[in-house]
Structures are given as structure tokens and as C-alpha cells.
Amino acid sequence: MSWFGVWSRSAARTRELLDQLCTETPEPLAPRLLWRDDDRLVIALCADVHREQQSSADVETTFVAGELRLDDPAELCEELHCSQDSSSAELCARLWQRDEARAAPQLRGDFALSSFDRASGTLWLVRDPIGVKPLYYVALDSGLVWSSSFARLTQLRELPRELDARMVVDYLGELPEDPSRTLLRAVRRLPPASRLIAQLARVQEVASYFSFTPQTPRLSSDAAYAEALRDKLDAAVRARLSPTGRTATLLSGGLDSSFIAALASRTLARDHRGPLLTLSARFEQLPQCDEQSFQTAMVRQIGSEHVEFRPSPRDSSGELTALFATFGQPRPIGAHWLAWSALTLAAQHEVDVVLTGIDGDRVVSHGEAHLTELSRSRRYARLLQECWGYDHRSALGRTQLFAQQAALGALPMTWLHRMDDRRSWSSPEAAVLRRFIHPHQLTATDARQRLLVQSRRPATPLEAHQRRIEAADRSADLELLAALEPRFGVRLAHPFYDRRVIEFCLGLPSEQRKRGKRGRFVLREAMRGLVPDQVRLRQDKAYFDAAFREWAHGWLTARDPSSLLPAHTPLEDFLPVGQLRREITTILAQRNGGPELDFLWRAVILSRWFEGLARGKGEAFAT
């Protein structure tokens, strides 16, 4: 269940808004706090689904409520001179009392919280630096409403339903999204590492409070770097295990999920708890996506209890009513397909926490820009050595790679960006964008320029690394997973997104990220002895694009093609609906339809969302 809050300058109005937010809640809700001072009223409500996560605290003049998981509560207790059994919310309240301006950057963990100071009448909404926990808000004429759930805010009767044209285009075209916007112009998203300050129920300021900086010391050897990374990831895993219940991991068979599974299994064994439950997807009909051999090797190594699942659009993961009730918006629908099936299984096995290896490649980095760095710094001997380590079939291939990299390194960055621009705007994805979205919408939303900026190569490896970690799609994926937690009563945790792990990896020397043909060199070394070499030294990587398209194709073809897109829909303002309707049969005839199938899927889901939200309101959409 989501948590939410209301602030209005009228007690009656606050009660009215609160009632609207609770209309579709299956059981009665009672606010944890009702604070009133003259005509000001604040209600913060927390549902008690995950007791260790959703909590509130009322300490002297400060009230804190939200979803909180701290990495280092014991250290904070000592620093703040609090009892060791203090709740996370109480520790946050103490921090805000001590120095509200500096409180947020001191928090390490996953959180989205509200803090209200009675003395100053100031409300703070704060989201963790990674964006693991979502937070949305609506500024109405009569007050401010916020929630961890987009779906809950759409229950407000007076919510303006004007569409954000840029976000519609970005969703349809999979363009880089603005982290502060949603499909509805009135519903705002608090970006990761940001805080909102409000007074008298009015938003005063939204600003970033934190940015990642490299924190890696210079170490003496490869082994020292590997040990340091292993220790930090081990601490991150331990901090996220269920304290009393059962823990599972998603095991794809790749490097990231395998390392997390190995560390979790080792910790549980040391604490005489377990065994670890591992959950793996199977794709027998798509050999390029099926990772059974790697999964089996890991299960044999760590001795986990292992369960397999086979995602299907015909199970509950394909029921739009349930999906819209869970997410409230189209963006996660489709991307949910794998996690939904895994968490269904986790709930059946009474799991409390599911660890993931999500985005380990982003955090540790493949070191893609390493060759560019060597070339631009004219370290040609080292460049030649690295090129010779690549897995090419002949010496000629290695020589050509060296010549190509040396030439690119000599070109001005502006020339390289022009090359990137031409390549990105002629890509298959851009071709679908130009084909189906009205030109005036592409122009009005500046779609081309934003696509070009996203595709331009970074100037340094550090810039490349930071860009990947801070990309908007990262936050969107995490919000998707957070929305699934209350649905299944399971907490998802992502050890690679521990702040200490990120800051350590950002400072890694380039040669620790890539060594010859081996990307993520330091991670592979850290896995030594814990993960079988069959997995640790693998050079290939399974991508699940084909598996998702198989899933989406099955969902679409199970329905009458003429019913997929209505003839009249708000989508007409953005794309030629008639043309797309005529091409549905052609697109679906290609089983792995590529960008066209992806676009059709998003258009269908968006149109269904329009219909559902309009039925709920009884009005037409404005664009």
C-alpha cells in the first residue's frame, strides 16, 4: 500500500482530499498524525505493509513519515546519541531537528519521506539519490498532496488532466524523459537526489541536494581493488537482507545477479539462516535468451533452493486492469513483464526480500570509453596493447581497431558529435519516430535535438560513467519495481545501488573497468572463488529484447487487431492513428518485429490508459 500526505490551510478541505485518496482502498485507513495549529492542518498517512520500511515518528517539533531503509542506522544512532532501537523515521526526525538544511545528504539508503517542522511551518519532501523509492506530488489551489503512488493521485476528483505533450512523445518514442514530469501536466515527479520545500501549503522550491563524487583511494594492486569492491558489495547485501524472514535473489545467470546471489548465500550460511531462494526465468523457445547452463552452474556452486518460471502474457502479468491499478500510468507496463512473474513466485514462497543485480553494469561500468581515453591522451603503446587483447580473429582485425581508435582520438570532439548525430537520426528507432509521430509534435517537443544530445559520446570515461548512472531510464525502472512491492507484499533491494558502491566504482582507474577484451575487470576479479569461472569469465551477455517482443507479440495477437487501437483517441493529436491501424496486421506478421512492434505496443497501452482514466473521470482529455 502506498503512503501519502495532504496539506491544506483548511481542516475541512484536508479531510475532503484525504477521503478522495482513500476511495479505492480495500480497508479503512486512519491517519498516523493529525496536527493542527489555528487554520493549518497536516495529515501524513503511512500504511503498515513493510513495518521496517514504512514508518513515522513525532519527535518534539518535527514529524517525519515515509518509506525508509537506512544503510547505517547504528552509526546514526551513535552520532545522534539515540537508542539503538530507534526507528528510521525517528533518526530522520533527529537529523532534521539538528540541521534541516544538511539533513538529506547525510542519509544513506533508499527513501522517500516527508518532514514537517511545527515551529517554522515548513514541509520537506525528499527522495534518495538513486531514486529507488518514488515520490509524486500535485499542487492544487487548495493545498499540496503527495504520494509514493501515481495511481493514488489520479483519484483526486479535481486533478487537472491536461496531457504533457513532451512526455507523450517521449514515451511513444522512448526518448530521454524529464525526471520531474509525468504524462499528466499537473502530477509532478520529485527527481532522485532532490528535495521540495513548501510553506503554507505552497511549493517554494525544488532543487537537487546531492551529486555523486568518486571516492576510490589509489590502491596498490588488482587484488586490492577487487577485495575493496567485494567488501563494499558484501556490506550492501548484508544491509538489505531480511532481518527475520526469507530472502531470495533474481538469478539471470549474468555477472551481476550471480555475484549478488553468491554474497547473499555466503552471508546467510554464516548466520545459520537460509537456504537462499533463487528465481530464474526460462526461455526454451529463444536460445539466445535462455541462460539455464549459467543458472545451473551458480545453483550448484552456492547450494540454493532454485525455482524456475516462464513468463507468459496469458497469466496475470497480461491483465491490464491489474496493471493499471498497480502502476497508474503506462510507462512501467511492458517493462514489468519479467519482474511481475518473478514476484508472483516469490510471494508464493513467502519471501520477504528479493535481491536483484539490477544495473551492476551501469555501476561498475564496462569501460567503453577506455580506448578513447588512451587515444586522446596519446598513450599509443598502451592503446596498442589493449587493442591486441581484444578477441579479434586475426592480427589484421586488431591492427584495424588500433588505427580506427587512433584516428578517432585525433579528431576534435565537435567532429565526433556530428558523426554521432548522423548515426542516431538515421537509426531504426529514429526512423519509426519520424514515420509515426506528427512532425509538428517532434518540432514542438524538440525531440530531435534531445535525441541527438543523448547519443553524443562523452568526452571522458568518468563523464560516460556518471551519465549512465544518472540516466532517466534508471529511475523509471526503479519506480516500476517499487510499485510492485505493495502488490506482492515483497520488498525489492538493489545492492549495486548502494551509495558507497557507486562512489567507489566512479573513482576506479580505467584499467580496472576494462582490461583487453574483458569488460568490468575488477568485478570479475572480485567474484573469484565465489562464482564459477563458467560464469565469471563469460564474454557474452544475454539481452531480453527478443523475449519481451515475444511476450508483447503474444499479448497483441491474442486480441482482435481491429480492437487494439480505437479510431478516435487523444493519440490522434500525436500520431496518424488511421495509418497505424492499417499497418497493425503487417507489424504483427513479423514475430520479432523490432522497433515497429515496440512502438505499436506503447501506442496500444497509452490509448488504453487514456480510455481508463477518462472513464474514471467522465471527461475528455485536454492536450
Q: What is the pLDDT of residues 538-563, one digit of tens each?
A: 988 888 888 999 999 999 999 999 89
Note whether residue 247 is domain-resident. Answer: yes
Domain, as residue range, for 355:
222-364+471-536
Percent of the chain with pLDDT over 70: 91
Element (H, E) at 362: helix 360-364
Same-domain check for residues 229 and 351: yes
Q: Mean pLDDT across the stretch 218-222? A: 92
Rg, Å, the chain Cα set: 25
Same-domain check for residues 356 and 381: no
The yes-or-no verdict on residue 404 having pLDDT over 60 is yes
The 10s digit of each residue's pLDDT in 301-325 is 999 999 999 999 999 999 998 999 8
Cis peptide upstream of residue 275 (ω within 30 degrees of 0): yes
Query: Angle at the Cα of 167 (from 623 to 603), degrees rounded to 5?
Result: 80
Rounded-to-integer distance, Cα 524 and Cα 540, Å = 14
- Cβ(173)–Cβ(601) below 8 Å: no
Note whether residue 544 is domain-resident. Answer: no
pLDDT value for 312: 93
pLDDT value for 25: 53
Give CA torsion, residues 442, 443, 444, 450, to 10 deg: 70
Same-domain check for residues 170 and 21: yes
The yes-or-no verdict on residue 1 having pLDDT over 90 is no
User: Which residues is 208 bridged to in the sheet?
Assistant: 194
Q: pLDDT band for position 368 (50/70/90)?
A: low
Q: pLDDT band for position 50 (50/70/90)?
A: very low
- Cβ(584)–Cβ(565) below 8 Å: yes
Q: At what angle do helices 255-270 and 222-240 cross, to 10 degrees?
A: 70
Residue 586's CB is within 10 A of a number of other CB atoms, namely: 10
pLDDT value for 255: 95
Q: How many domains does the chain have?
A: 5
Q: Mean pLDDT across the stretch 602-607? A: 94
Note whether residue 215 is domain-resident. Answer: no
The CATH number of whichever domain residue 171 belongs to comes to: 3.60.20.10
Rounded to the nearest integer, the mean pLDDT of the chain is 86
- Cβ(600)–Cβ(580) below 8 Å: yes
Percent of the chain with pLDDT over 90: 47
Q: At what angle do helices 337-348 and 472-488 cross, to 10 degrees?
A: 30
pLDDT value for 618: 38
Query: Is the alpha carbon torsion for 74, 77, 81, 83 positive or negative?
Result: negative
Q: Mean pLDDT across the stretch 397-404? A: 81
Query: Is the alpha carbon torsion for 48, 49, 50, 54 positive or negative?
Result: negative
16 Cβ neighbours under 8 A, 6+ residues apart: none
Among 162-176, 461-475, 594-608, the least confident range: 461-475
Same-domain check for residues 476 and 529: yes
Same-domain check for residues 434 and 480: no
Note whether residue 488 is domain-resident. Answer: yes
Same-domain check for residues 142 and 68: yes
The 10s digit of each residue's pLDDT in 411-458 is 888 888 888 888 888 888 888 889 999 999 999 999 888 888 878 888
Q: pLDDT band for position 342 (50/70/90)?
A: very high
Among 396-400, 568-572, 586-590, the least confident range: 396-400
Q: Mean pLDDT across the stretch 524-545? A: 91
Single-letter code of the amino acid located at 35: W
Rounded-to-integer distance, Cα 219 and Cα 139, Å = 50
Single-letter code of the amino acid located at 313: P
56 Cβ neighbours under 8 A, 6+ residues apart: 32, 33, 44, 46, 63, 64, 65, 66, 89
Single-letter code of the amino acid located at 601: W
Note whether residue 523 is domain-resident. Answer: yes
Among 92-96, 533-537, 548-552, the least confident range: 92-96
The cell numbers describing 341, all together, are: 512473474
Same-domain check for residues 423 and 405: no
Rounded-to-integer distance, Cα 388 and Cα 390, Å = 5
pLDDT value for 59: 62
Same-domain check for residues 395 and 451: no
Note whether residue 495 is domain-resident. Answer: yes
Q: Mean pLDDT across the stretch 236-240? A: 95
Long-range contacts (CB closer than 8 Å, 24 or more residues apart) made by 13-16 = 13/142, 13/143, 14/41, 14/42, 14/43, 14/143
Say if strands 187-189 and 202-208 run parallel, antiparallel, or are unpaired: unpaired
pLDDT value for 60: 62
User: Among 401, 430, 457, where does a domain finish?
Assistant: 457
pTM: 0.90
Same-domain check for residues 150 and 231: no
Same-domain check for residues 325 and 234: yes
pLDDT value for 223: 96
Same-domain check for residues 406 and 416: no
Same-domain check for residues 29 and 135: yes
Note whether residue 550 is domain-resident. Answer: no
Among 221, 234, 207, 138, residue whose Cα is nearest residue 512: 221
Note whether residue 214 is domain-resident. Answer: no
DSSP 591: T
